[in-house]
Structure 1
Amino acid sequence: MANKLNYIDLFAGAGGLSEGFKRAGLNPIAHVEIDKAAAYTLKTRTAYYYLKENNLYDKYVEYLKGEINRKELYELIPTELLDSVIDLGISNENNEVIFDKINRSLGNKEVDLIIGGPPCQAYSLVGRARSENNMKSDSRNYLYVQYAAYLEKYKPKMFVFENVLGLRSAGKGVYLNNMERLFNKKGYSIHIYTVKAENFGVLQKRRRLIIIGWKQDFVPNLPNLDSYNLGLTAPISDLFSDLPFLRAGEGKDKYTNYTAETNDYLGKSYIRNGIDILTQHIARPHSEQDKEIYRVAVEKWNTNKERLNYNDLAENLKTHNNITSFTDRFKVVAEDLNTSHTVVAHISKDGHYYIHPDIKQNRSISVREAARLQSFPDDFYFEGVKEGANRTAAFKQIGNAVPPLMAKKIADLLKTQLKL
């Protein structure tokens, strides 16, 4: 792949950012991710691309149907490709090992781009609010130092660093200022964007910082990501319209069928991309009390377009003592809006903030519905450490991910600069 631009993905998660860059035609050299479940997801996606590019896509379909297991799938893939997923934490202790593994995958090629962003909990406003010391002692505050070490090692022409808006205010701006100084010291200038996922066609109100850095020996013509607008939108009802009816606790990991044809949005967003095999449409079980609260929340929205305030619930439905904060802890993913609220990793703990809009189904959204809100294609399978249905691990990976549709558009905009 000498004619392709090569990138390394650090703190890769499930690979949402990488999915966009790969789809834009760039070549991944390595993915580095400490979470074991996410690393398996990256390996499975690596398998998907290898099989698709080598006219063996039917083997991946067999996996999605449950006809072969994960071990059998991986046996079809060259070992060096699977080894390009490095499931180690980026740290002073591990970096030499990671460098060695990356170098084996890299061979005599050059790294054109580094992408990724450290875990965001230490910078997020919610994470700091829940911490006793405002997360000042959290080691994740300083993972940007490790990121800079990879810039120094591989000297890419550009890098893309994604993180939460709270990075601007974390440490009263000290972390971001120190980050910029360190990147400058390593020979890179940066520009900081605030992007809106819905402007890139994602049906979700998601605000993130995108830092684009470039070597100081050339001046790129940077895209204006702050004001970019793809012009692709649809109601949430279009996002869910072809998925089978589920009640709480129902669903199949592998596999089930769609109940309707695709639509314009599902096609243009790459979510429905040609196969008719639906996986991970699984809904978590709920208590009768929670289901009653969900009915109240959906009826309130459907009747008056009002959100449920926890304090307005009948006393017999209240179980939390905290009545002053997070009073919107039960929230409907409204099907008549063009965007949902932000999907975050807390969805792995409960689904109260992501109630399905159909009162007859009376549940929180499924794994596949959450993945669609993040713009993951339906053939993207989220793994757990153990093979099989891993609802919690999948929700966590989805909530932490960068929307692939947004990532793809950013990659498209940067490709011409990387080829200068």
Structure 2
Amino acid sequence: MKLDERGRAKYRPLKEYDPELVKQLLLDKIAAEEEAINSLQTDFELPALDYREDKINVVSLFSGCGGLDLGFELAGLSSVLGEEKALEAYNSKESYTANRSKGIFHTIYSNDLFKEANESYKINFPEVYQQPLDIRKVKNFPKADLVLGGFPCPGFSEAGPRLIDDERNFLYTHFIRCLLQAKPFAFVAENVKGIMTLGKGEVLNQIVQDFASAGYTVKVKLVNSRDFGVPQIRERVFIVGIREDIDFEYHHPEPTHGENKTPFLTLADAIGDLETKPGDWFTGGFSPIYLSRNRKKGWKDQSFTIQASGRQAPLHPSGPPMRKLGADKWELPGDETLHRRLSVKEIARIQTFPDWFTFSDGGNETVQRNNRLDKQYKQIGNAVPVLLAKAMAMPLATFAKENLEDIKNNRTKVMV
């Protein structure tokens, strides 16, 4: 919401919101977006999708290479086979391929624009229909029982956050537009920690109200990946909505790892066996910006957050630790060859992808090696850690398995 005035404070957030006004602003904006979409000169229609009556049919937005999707799929498999058997199958491509269709979650559609990520998704989720189209140009989303997506963090003006009626960057409203069309019983959206403090929290408040206005009871929580079996310190916000007519209250799961629980997984646990066979890593020098802070964790630690860049990848724990020289200035002791960035395979492990998961580099051998590797680093760094996604999905998987008949009977319900 913005004030009706000009100047630098144009997007100053209001202190109080009228829920009905928020809802109307949202619906008006979505109507305007749909009008623009309907004016597009395209006769494209979705093909017949692989709906399953006995499954929870899933639509994936901003799907990337599929970390969130794989985590939900694994949770759906765990709800049917049990945790131990599902995780055992997960570690083998042959076994996972043979068992993945048994899970309660069944992805039917994905959407993203990142070419190499789409290639990876297609390799690893070959049965899913993929629409590599700008979401703002998607006229019709398919019906679904569950919608997933890590929508891009919204932009905001110098003077304050971009809220509901700012004309820029309405990608999250297209997630909501999908909800209005698909009518799922639940949705899960993931975003970076920073979204909680943008505009002193007003951005997140607005987004939550917008999702709620679409007919959902919304829960928001900041979680740390390492609390759920991921060998990485990575904080992310999970926004979960349950359709208002569904008799179920979602609770974000409690941590499974940490003090008085299962010990945190370490870099030694995750990549210790790869020390002599790490695969390819991004090479080249280390800039002053890179050396402005510590980039190396020890074997007994959890990794720094994996970023979507090969050049900014954390250092491998081998060799001497970095040494602080002063404010924003660190050095790599000894010869530079004693220090290297984590490899693609290592960061995939840290993001809890299985070794069989394939990441496309575009396949163009004329492109410089580092540039091809960077495509893989970007996909993996942008992904939701699979085991974190699985943890967030388990309450939904358990509910869905126990209430599948009720969900099926409510598939045609119209949201307010």
Same fold (TM over 0.5): yes
Give the corresponding residue for 1:329: 293
Alpha-carbon offset, residue 132 of structure 1: 7.3
Query: What's the secondary structure of 1:225's corresponding residue?
Result: coil
Give the corresponding residue for 2:138: 95
Q: State the alpha-carbon separation in 1 of the partners of residues 274 and 211 from structure 2.
A: 45
Give the corresponding residue for 2:59: 8
Alpha-carbon offset, residue 194 of structure 1: 1.2
Instruction: Say whether 1:355 aligns with 2:296.
Output: no
Assess if the C-alpha contact under 8 Å between 2:296 and 2:315 holds in 1.
Answer: yes
Query: What's the secondary structure of 1:282's corresponding residue?
Result: coil
Question: Pairwise CA RMSD of aligned residues?
Answer: 2.8
User: In structure 1, what residue type is equivalent to 2:182?
Assistant: Y
TM-score by length of 2: 0.65
> Could you tell me which of 379, 390, 399 is aligned with 1:417?
399
Cα 1:377–1:232, aligned 2, differ >3 Å: closer, same or farther? farther
Q: State the alpha-carbon separation in 1 of the partners of residues 352 and 169 from structure 2.
A: 28
Q: Deviations over 1:10-40 (max 9, x none)?
A: 1111110001112222110111111111110
Q: State the alpha-carbon separation in 2 of the partners of residues 33 and 160 from structure 1.
A: 17
Trace 1:135-174 onto structure 2 (pairs within 5 A). Answer: 142-174=170-202
Alpha-carbon offset, residue 142 of structure 1: 2.8
Q: Which moved more, 1:383-392 or 1:202-211?
A: 383-392
Q: How many residues align?
A: 296
Identity of counterpart residues, as a percentage? 32
Assess if the C-alpha contact under 8 Å between 1:195 and 1:226 holds in 2.
Answer: no
User: In structure 2, what residue type is equivalent to 1:89?
Assistant: D
Unaligned runs of 5+ in 1: 48-80, 104-109, 252-280, 291-318
Q: Moved runs in structure 1, 4+ residues, more than 4 A?
A: 131-141, 226-230
Trace 1:166-245 onto structure 2 (pairs within 5 A). Answer: 166-225=194-253, 227=255, 229=257, 231=262, 233-245=264-276
Query: What's the secondary structure of 2:273's corresponding residue?
Result: coil
Assess if the C-alpha contact under 8 Å between 1:221 and 1:417 holds in 2.
Answer: no
Q: State the alpha-carbon separation in 2 of the partners of residues 379 and 221 from structure 1.
A: 35
Q: State the alpha-carbon separation in 2 of the partners of residues 45 and 36 from structure 1.
A: 15
> Could you tell me which of 297, 316, 341 is aligned with 2:304?
341
Q: State the alpha-carbon separation in 2 of the partners of residues 139 and 393 from structure 1.
A: 31
Trace 1:279-318 onto structure 2 (pairs within 5 A). Answer: 281-287=279-285, 290=286
Assess if the C-alpha contact under 8 Å between 1:162 and 1:209 holds in 2.
Answer: yes
Unaligned runs of 5+ in 2: 1-51, 76-102, 320-336, 404-416
Assess if the C-alpha contact under 8 Å between 1:9 and 1:28 holds in 2.
Answer: yes
Alpha-carbon offset, residue 226 of structure 1: 5.3
Alpha-carbon offset, residue 136 of structure 1: 5.3
Alpha-carbon offset, residue 195 of structure 1: 1.0
Assess if the C-alpha contact under 8 Å between 1:286 and 1:363 holds in 2.
Answer: no
Assess if the C-alpha contact under 8 Å between 1:112 and 1:418 holds in 2.
Answer: no
Query: What's the secondary structure of 1:166's corresponding residue?
Result: helix
Assess if the C-alpha contact under 8 Å between 1:19 and 1:404 holds in 2.
Answer: yes
Alpha-carbon offset, residue 174 of structure 1: 2.6
Query: What's the secondary structure of 1:198's corresponding residue?
Result: helix
Give the corresponding residue for 1:34: 113
TM-score by length of 1: 0.64
Alpha-carbon offset, residue 410 of structure 1: 2.0
Assess if the C-alpha contact under 8 Å between 2:161 and 2:198 holds in 1.
Answer: no
User: In structure 2, what residue type is equivalent to 1:31?
Assistant: S
